Amino acid sequence: MRLPLPQSLPLPLPLPLPRPARSERREAEDERVVHRACTLCEACCGLAVTVRGSEVLEVRGDPDDPFSQGYLCPKGVANADLVADPDRLRQPLLRAAPGEVADSGTDPGAPDAGAAGWRSVGWAEALDAAADGLARVLREHGPESVAIYLGNPAAHGGGALLMAHELLGLLGARRRYSASSLDQQPQHLVSYLLFGNPMVFGVPDLDRTDHLLILGGNPAVSNGSIMTAPDMKRRLRAIRERGGRVVVVDPRRTETARVADEHIFIRPGTDVFLLLGMLHTLVAEELVDVGAVADLVDGVEELCQAALDYPPDRVAEVTGVPAERIAQLARDFAGADSAAGYGRLGVCQTEFGTTTFWLLTCLNILTGNLDRPGGLMFPRPALDAAAIVHRLTDQVGYDRFRSRIGDLPEVSTDLPVATLAAEIRTPGPGQIRALVTIAGNPALSVPDGRAMDEALAGLEVLVSIDPYITETSRHADVVLPPRVAFERDELEVVFGSMSVRNMARYSPRAVEPAADTMEDAEILAELIQRLATRIGSPQRRARALAAAQVVLRGQMDRLMDLAIRTGPYGNYGLGLNLGRIRAATHGLDLGPLMPSLPGRLFTRDRRIPLAHPVLMGDLSRVRDRLENGDVDGPGGLLLIGRRHLRSNNSWMANSPRLVRGKDRCTVLINPADARARGIVPGARVLLSGPSGSIEVPAEVSDEIMEGVVAVPHGWGHDRDGVGWRVAADHPGASVNDVTDSRAVDPLSGNAALQAVPVSVEALVGAAG
Ligand SMILES: Nc1nc2c(c(=O)[nH]1)N[C@H]1C(S)=C(S)[C@@H](COP(=O)(O)OP(=O)(O)OC[C@H]3O[C@@H](n4cnc5c(=O)[nH]c(N)nc54)[C@H](O)[C@@H]3O)O[C@H]1N2
Ligand SMILES: Nc1nc2c(c(=O)[nH]1)N[C@H]1C(S)=C(S)[C@@H](COP(=O)(O)OP(=O)(O)OC[C@H]3O[C@@H](n4cnc5c(=O)[nH]c(N)nc54)[C@H](O)[C@@H]3O)O[C@H]1N2
Ligand code: SF4
Ligand SMILES: [Mo]
């Protein structure tokens, strides 16, 4: 069933937004241009936003931003749709009790809330209900029964991250889940094991490198991830223009591959073998030269010895890459004046995610490319997340406790979200019965999303902090809608640690938020205040309340200012402080990445244990897979993911300008595989995998390698009660209704969302 919507309801404005001609507009006195960053993805593009009152008239790339130089993608413009979206909630919703007459309230954001069993309520009532529910479950079932899930957009708000941390502390819960375990957990873990800090990332020195090797990343579309660099295509082209080389290894000839010098198909899930074959070549051909950091690295011998077990001709078949090509990849990398090996989701979201990412890091280190210009370098952000995380010592660590289901290790207190549905659904001591979701949509984003959907429906208490009634928050008892990015002042706190240039960025709000609305951090702080009257030891209460007060009294800026002043550019550096960052309207460029070892090492002995026992230990699993493993499933196809420039995980499909055009939720299949199954372009097919089946149209193209199919995630917006109406008109299907929650990287607990064994068959009589 779809929400029964009266036809006359105004849908979001067709775009471009109606507006007067530019010259006229400039003259209008009540208009102003606000310069701020786009915080929808990691690229942090500078925007020039023309606003009148609370209306966004135009969004353009800011040509004066030193970093993005006017670049923006279609999503940047769609920030305007988010601000204006009539489906966005402006007031909390409370689930109407059975028998209670639900009213739809006056909230234009929830036109049919009443019909779906919601009541629009004031903040006090909603927050009290949330606190009552959580406190009740906690009292009855103990701290293990309450969990938090932090979704992707939460990464942009320092205040929200801090408050989520304090909320967990107050609950006394060790049940923190996040999108990290669907994404970059292998990278955090490798950073922790090798560099002593999960937030110290080696980032390709993109603007100076002579050779960029990309495994399982599509930055031309994703705009770069753990590699913050706006206008990726320009930056990639620049590598080639200065005589360098870009090589892409990917089961799909991606948009990035099309701007590269070389593209190599690889069978999904097998990069671990490819990298071992490359390391073998380095060792066998005496190309290992750790360079300037040699004094800091332990275990080189041990690692090289291990690699000798994997000559290229031993791994060629499983990877689908000819042995000579593997060896040549290694020679080219080692022979370049400088080189950077980069990998993202195609590496992380596999069963060997951590080990693969480790070997990729080793490739950089063994060729002397760590911490040198053009290689893999460490950003030094003005506000140093790594230093802050390091001070929160209780936050940093590995395998100090394990998940009840699956027996998987925590990574810096995060547990694998692939196990969350089972944790909720499996009775017994420690069963999760209450959940707070903050900026996340697990019903669409975790593997076996249907199980998650059912788990969410069965929770005793679900509190969702989200601006929409999503596939997840539709199950909530209370929905607490925050202001969206353009309505917030934001200091970039996370992506400075991943940026290809050192930068600092303060973004003032573009529009004034409606009265009686709150930001994520404030909502969490209010929730903490209420919970503290109901639960928690005296110490816990005192600590959480003190933190909540910082947010509620508007003192976060002072805290940030202090962190900046004591940071690398602060009192003992350039004299940087929050005021000076704020004054840099177009963003502050702090220059190219600088060599920073050993200063950037947080390991106790300030060394890099390249052959860390946790990582070396996993090589037995690798060997076993090579000798006995069959990565193919019975259906003969391996499923991978695919992103589109106009998508943003599960949640921007309510922007009319982003969903227009042809259906993007298709299965991409090679002509040979399509032919073998009688599938013609556009035909609807049944895609079946470990957790279920979906129906999607087929797109036939040789840009995908034989034996592989690709489907984007984040679709499937036709579920009952979901509040985004534009998205519901372009629903697609959720690929996570097919993926496998049991397939994880056992080291990091990261979900193996790539290389899922599936079958595809034509649906009879369903052409078109
Ligand atoms: N099959 C498959 N599954 C995947 C992936 C894949 O490649 N393939 N990718 C994975 C990855 S990398 C990620 S990061 C996850 C993402 O998974 P999630 O983080 O669970 O979900 P998102 O789709 O990012 O949804 C974000 C939610 O936050 C809400 N939101 C937006 N802005 C704000 C805000 O300012 N405050 C609050 N409180 N809420 C806000 C949106 O309405 C939306 O409901 O998906 C993962 N799932
Ligand atoms: N437009 C847009 N941008 C986004 C997002 C979005 O949804 N839309 N999401 C954001 C988020 S949350 C993230 S985490 C980043 C992700 O950033 P990226 O990792 O760059 O994103 P993907 O497009 O998923 O790229 C993964 C690539 O890995 C390939 N691949 C799959 N399996 C394998 C494998 O086994 N081996 C190899 N070598 N390659 C493989 C896929 O074909 C794909 O090209 O993007 C961010 N940016
Ligand atoms: S690439 Fe697009 S979504 Fe990402 S920051 Fe830039 S404008 Fe925003
Ligand atoms: Mo992500």
Per-residue pLDDT tens over the stretch 243-299: 999 999 999 999 999 999 999 999 999 999 999 999 999 999 999 999 999 999 999
- Whether the per-residue pLDDT at 386 is higher than 80: the answer is yes
Q: From the alpha carbon of 735, which atom of ligand 1 is closest? A: 1
Could you give the percent of the chain with pLDDT greater than 70? 93
* Residue 527 DSSP code: H
Q: From CA 641, how far away is CA 754, in angstroms rounded?
A: 6
Question: Is 338 among the domain residues?
Answer: yes
Q: From CA 738, how far away is CA 751, in angstroms rounded?
A: 13
Mean per-residue pLDDT of the chain? 92
Q: From the alpha carbon of 485, which atom of ligand 1 is closest? A: 35
Nearest CA to ligand 1 atom 12: 183
Q: From CA 435, how far away is CA 478, in angstroms rounded?
A: 11
pTM, entire model: 0.95
Among 381-395, 430-444, 500-514, 745-759, name the one with the lowest average pLDDT.
381-395
Pocket-forming residues, ligand 3, beta carbon under 6 Å? 38, 40-41, 43-45, 72-73, 75-76, 223, 230
Q: From CA 627, how far away is CA 622, in angstroms rounded?
A: 9
Query: Of the candidates 359, 377, 395, which is a domain's last residue?
Result: 377
- Whether the per-residue pLDDT at 21 is higher than 50: the answer is no
Question: What's the gap in Å between 285 CA and the centre of ligand 4?
Answer: 37
CATH code for position 367: 3.40.228.10
Phi, psi dihedral angles at 651 (to 5 degrees): -130, 10
- Return the bridge partners of 48, or none: 35, 60
Question: Is 366 among the domain residues?
Answer: yes
Nearest CA to ligand 2 atom 18: 217
Q: From CA 497, how far away is CA 759, in angstroms rounded?
A: 40
Mean of the pLDDT values across residues 639-654? 97
Could you give the percent of the chain with pLDDT greater than 90? 87
Q: Helices 353-366 and 300-307, interaxial angle, to 10°?
A: 110
Question: What's the gap in Å between 568 CA and the centre of ligand 2?
Answer: 32
E-strand ranges in 604-677 read 608-609, 637-640, 667-669
Q: From the alpha carbon of 472, which atom of ligand 1 is closest? A: 44
Which two tokens mark 116? 């779906």
Nearest CA to ligand 2 atom 40: 346
Report whether 563 contacts 205 (CB < 8 A): no
Residue 114, pLDDT score:
54
CATH code for position 713: 2.40.40.20
Nearest CA to ligand 1 atom 30: 439
Which two tokens mark 467? 């601006």
Q: Give SS3 for 476.
A: coil
Could you give the number of structural domains in the chain? 2
Beta carbons within 10 angstroms of residue 539's beta carbon: 9
Question: Is 414 among the domain residues?
Answer: no
Residue 393, pLDDT score:
72
- Return the bridge partners of 669, or none: 700, 709
Q: Residue 290 corresponds to which amino acid?
A: V
Question: What's the gap in Å between 641 CA and the centre of ligand 1?
Answer: 15
Q: 284 lies in which domain range?
A: 202-377
Q: Residue 180 corresponds to which amino acid?
A: S
For ligand 2, mutation pick of 44, 73, 250, 267 (most atoms within 8 Å of CB): 250
Report whether 319 contacts 277 (CB < 8 A): yes
For residues 602-636, one letter each, b for 16 or more C-beta atoms within 10 angstroms of the residue's C-beta and e for the rest, the string is: bbeeebbbbbbebbbebbebbeebbeeeebebebe
Query: Of the candidates 323, 356, 377, which is a domain's last residue?
Result: 377
Question: Is 594 among the domain residues?
Answer: no
Q: What is the pLDDT of residues 415-461, one digit of tens each?
A: 999 999 999 999 999 999 999 999 999 999 999 999 999 999 999 99
For ligand 2, mutation pick of 222, 258, 715 (most atoms within 8 Å of CB): 222
- Whether the per-residue pLDDT at 26 is higher than 90: the answer is no
Q: Residue 622 corresponds to which amino acid?
A: V
Q: From the alpha carbon of 713, which atom of ligand 2 is closest? A: 7
Question: Is 83 among the domain residues?
Answer: no
3-state per-residue secondary structure call for 681-729: CCCEEEEEECCEEEEEEEEECCCECCCEEECCCCCCCCCCCCCCHHHHH
Nearest CA to ligand 1 atom 33: 439
Question: What's the gap in Å between 152 CA and the centre of ligand 4?
Answer: 6
Task: Sheet with 31-37: list strands edge to edge.
Answer: 31-37, 46-52, 55-61
Question: What's the gap in Å between 39 CA and the centre of ligand 1?
Answer: 13
Question: What's the gap in Å between 85 CA and the centre of ligand 1?
Answer: 18
Residue 241 backbone zone (phi > 0: left; psi -120 to 50: alpha; other: beta):
alpha
Cα angle value 606/352/291 (rounded, 5°): 35
Residue 9, pLDDT score:
30
**Which-ligand-closest: CA of 517?**
1
* Residue 212 DSSP code: E
Closest CA to 608 of 322, 161, 300, 342: 300
Q: What is the pLDDT of residues 216-229, one digit of tens each?
A: 999 999 999 999 99
Q: What is the number of helices (H) and of strands (E) in the chain? A: 27, 31
Query: Of the candidates 377, 403, 423, which is a domain's last residue?
Result: 377
Residue 765, pLDDT score:
58
Pocket-forming residues, ligand 1, beta carbon under 6 Å? 151-153, 179, 182-183, 345, 438-442, 445, 465-468, 470, 482, 484-485, 520, 641, 649-651, 713-714, 735-736, 739, 753
Residue 292, pLDDT score:
95
Closest CA to 503 of 61, 68, 39, 41: 68
